[in-house]
Structure 1
């Protein structure tokens, strides 16, 4: 177990061979309000949080159970507080915990985040013997788990959540060990691309990590975020899209990052490493899983795979990747084998320049921006600066609805929605690291290295489609100066104020208010169907999620679980007979 929170500064150039600085902060603290210990978990995720916040967020995870005699081992607690935050800009107690009204705290799912909208996503995942006090005495080995369905949508402004159905995704079953990326420039509110994962082939509620079916990469699932933002009563829209090119072998526990051409004419998902837990490696008698040391890139909208780095000598899985310094992919942690071999990367960190496709030990803080590498030109056409000529998949769209999404202009750039000519976005900010999976010292949320040490004090790191604070104020000024159509603030938290007639009406004079930082802002009223919640700001879309204060029943769907049809088939002691806990929760 590792009981430290680690940070890596990104405001200067370093070489992990000689001058990398890793700051270790003990987190042996307890909540002053509840007495709960700060989390030390694995296989959860860490979110960047809203762009104007100094908090990062930890969601999900499970207690490492393989070494319960270790001195820092703590027994799993209840799943009530699945969401935690850490404020890196306070001298007081920096941790907060939140009950987001979900029945489980999942782990080993796929996560993504729309930083520009304050929304986080967690797709499927599992519960296991380290999930909570309820599962501790029911499951008794580290390879048995129960998949959970649905995608949890977290509003990181209000700290609320809902669970939407994922019944229409590929395989029609919950998956574990996959990844998901948010592509901000595509569609009215961006899209999510879900890749890979493992689904259970068991007829019972239980699954085993060494069994089941791996989803190959011949197709991916794409979620239109706008379909959820614009219709909060539904579950959003998923699309299946077939891929072509040099399709990677199926795997789980790989890492991904996404980055776009300078002109957003193409978008690229870099995938590194991973493992196949269903097949052993015949060349390594001591390694029970087939692991990979390769880099593949999925280019959109061609949906074509390109291998840019072959299978080398240092397989890695359970790690995380982050975009930093404009064009570099930093990998953190993970497992390299089951044979006890030490990591050749001294600090568990490596750097890939995604433009010239070279691995190295140096992070360059002032590197130039990303350019499309020549290796990807066959999938994009155009040049290093963009100007992609391939505008659709080689074999056509698997679903014509996805073509419509790709041809939709982002809301804030749509002249039909905004009168002024939009300014070019300066996508600066920082990146939040996820939970580092793998060996004991690297598998904990406490060890989840995140690149946020100076997130809003420096513009040395990159986040796609993040609205900078200065642009937010410029945007408000434009709204006031141009007297454009704006948002009509709701007079009641539960009931949006609407005009009776569908035609446009001009409202009263703009109102003046003072921000928390003392800035005086003149805000015009705006009519919009996308922002109806208390505290909304012009040009900053919110997703409305239900709360207990709504007058009608929330539309959130609880995490669902398959029914137990035959309790006598549950594998292993003490699974049979089923305890009263499972009869209550799953029966």
Structure 2
């Protein structure tokens, strides 16, 4: 036994040295504190984007309300990037100033609401995609005030904070893209994904109308080849549209990982047809395989959440790739304020069982238009957001956030909200309800809606070991679990067995080191292409199919201007057109000028 302990100490010491020399992306510097942006000076933040890279949370875009020199600034555009150091612990009590924040100037980089980010953790770079010019920005068509042209901006962190840079694009697909807002985005090892969104006069010069036009299609940017694709998403929804939902990249299954889509709205891409938007039931889980460019659908069971949009999602791996938990927090359901108040809730979707679990706690702080990330091993960090249970937008923006900087911390293992971010938190272990389920029931759904999807989950897990990132989600992999269920306890064997086990552990760690040491970069995954498949429509929790022999009728945006998919499946928003009757999606809080 003493020999075993000695061997374990040697292994742990060696692993610690290896870890210090091989872990990349961590932030070793400390940020100077900017207390005017947290503590008692902070009122509200929303319509922003955020991402985590290394040990830093970055907040960019959107709008905020602060108290400076004892006076509220009112709703204003966030025209800089905030960097919050996650290598140090901090409290989130309302008047606490322990959060270490740095302000990064953006130079010529434009400011957008609903900005989305794709994190390329391999190359330590972040791409900004989509967004809508704030309605607080000076705007006058008579003074030729225009939205910035489509451009791809990147952010690279460094010891002084980071830099923004525009990258020229020489890609025919990119040239035809229209900047979307409120799309569903995620990123991982292959690249960045965006599903749907809408366009209007504040998102792109190509859309000269004040109403909201849903943008169909799935855009993909390959991190390795730097190439774009824009493929049909008609197998997600008949019209290929999606707004205000959630998307998570899951690296655990599939040769290039999988993309999971949750909730939100779908809509007709036609202008002038009211009542076209539909909330997607959260029992309907859509999965996209980027390697095969194939869509799947799976029915989820358990404590299925009510239909909603404008929530946030974040995912975390449960150890040796046996499970993956997606956490869904808050959101908006219709226009019922009482329902909004109840939507201060947390749900967990566990894969591969496709089972929902509801976290039990008293609802007091519902949120919409917020973002969230997995940070510090086992903590979900919610960033900003408005309280949808309040009577109007003005009240929402002037309601003081009960958490410093709008940062809320949730322990994903104990399932508790806390006023403390622990930079040294223990590794993630799935919560008791999730562990109990897998110990007593099947790992998989009672029935696969598509046997081919079942093959992806039952087959050996993906070799993709990169941390999965989705905008605004990041994931982590820390906990080891059993092949068939989670082991809650470890057994102590005889002395002889312990010695053999210790030696075996040394060899195992060496094998892991050989496997995990830096390798040459590989191709980031295939580009998406249009593949004819059966279309599904999600209406009232049912799945209806449109056969390929029954195509949708052509639709028009504006008088006499049909939108058609070109040879690469791109939906173009024409420029300079007017629309007769404009169908607007309910966008909710956007600015005080509405």
Alignment of 1:456-475 (within 5 A): 462=476
Q: CA deviation at 1:251?
A: 0.8
Partner of 1:567: 559
Spell out the pairing of 1:270-419 with structure 2 (5 A cutoff). Answer: 270-276=327-333, 278-281=334-337, 292-310=343-361, 312-337=363-388, 338=393, 339-340=395-396, 341-381=399-439, 390-394=442-446, 396-410=447-461, 412=463
Cα RMSD over matched residues? 3.9
Matched-pair contact (CA < 8 Å) for 1:47–1:57 = yes
1:49 aligned partner: 120
The 2-side partners of 1:177 and 1:41 are apart by 16
Query: How many angstroms does 1:206 deviate by?
Result: 5.4
Cα distance per residue 1:502-557 (max 9 Å; x no partner): xxxxxxxxxxxxxxxxxxxxxxxxxxxxxxxxxxx46x3432549xxxxxxx9899
Q: Tell me what 1:63 maps to.
A: 133
Q: How many residues align?
A: 427
* Corresponding residue for residue 99 of structure 2: 20
Output the CA distance in 1 between the equivalents of 2:370 and 2:163: 29
| TM-score of the two chains, using structure 2 as the length reference | 0.64
Judge conservation of contact 2:428–2:478 (CA < 8 Å) in 1: no
- Out of 576, 584, 591, the position equivalent to 1:581 is 576
Aligned to 2:203: 131
2:158 corresponds to: 89
Partner of 1:233: none
Q: Which runs of 5+ in 1 are unaligned?
A: 31-37, 228-235, 284-288, 383-388, 414-424, 435-449, 452-460, 480-536, 547-553, 571-577
Determine the structure 2 residue equivalent to 1:179.
246
The 2-side partners of 1:187 and 1:433 are apart by: 20
Structure ranking higher on relative contact order (CA contacts 8 Å, 6+ apart): 2
Structure with greater proportional helix content: 2
Quote the residue 2:214 is aligned against: 147
Alignment CA distance shift 1:4-1:334 (3 Å) = same
Q: Report if aligned partners of 2:239, 2:267 keep a CA contact under 8 Å in 1.
A: no
CA distance, structure 1, for counterparts of residue 558 and residue 518 of structure 2: 63
Structure 2 CA distance for partners of 1:563 and 1:16, relative to 1, 3 Å: same
Structure 2 Cα separation of the partners of residues 63 and 472 of structure 1: 48
For the pair 1:259 / 2:316, whether they are aligned, the reply is yes
**In structure 2, how many angstroms separate the alpha carbons of the residues matched to 1:171 and 1:24?**
44
2:49 aligned residue: none
CA contact (8 A) 1:5 1:24 kept: yes
Deviation at 1:213, TM superposition (A): 1.2
Aligned to 2:79: 3
- Structure 2 SS opposite 1:180: strand
Q: Who is 1:221 aligned against?
A: 286
Alignment partner, residue 240 of structure 1:
297
1:363-413 alpha-carbon deviations (Å, 9 max, x no partner): 11111111111122454326xxxxxx522113x111111101112224548
TM-score of the superposition, structure 1-length normalised?
0.65
Q: For residue 543 of structure 1, what is the aligned residue in structure 2?
A: 525
The answer as to whether partners of 2:206 and 2:575 remain within 8 angstroms in 1 is no
Cα pair 2:249 2:469 within 8 Å, conserved: no
- The partner residue of 1:165 within 224, 232, 249 is 232
Structure 1 CA distance, aligned partners of 2:364 and 2:318?
31
Q: Which runs of 5+ in 2 are unaligned?
A: 1-76, 480-509, 533-551, 563-572, 580-594
Work out whether residues 43 and 62 of structure 1, in 8 Å CA contact, stay in contact via their aligned partners in 2.
yes
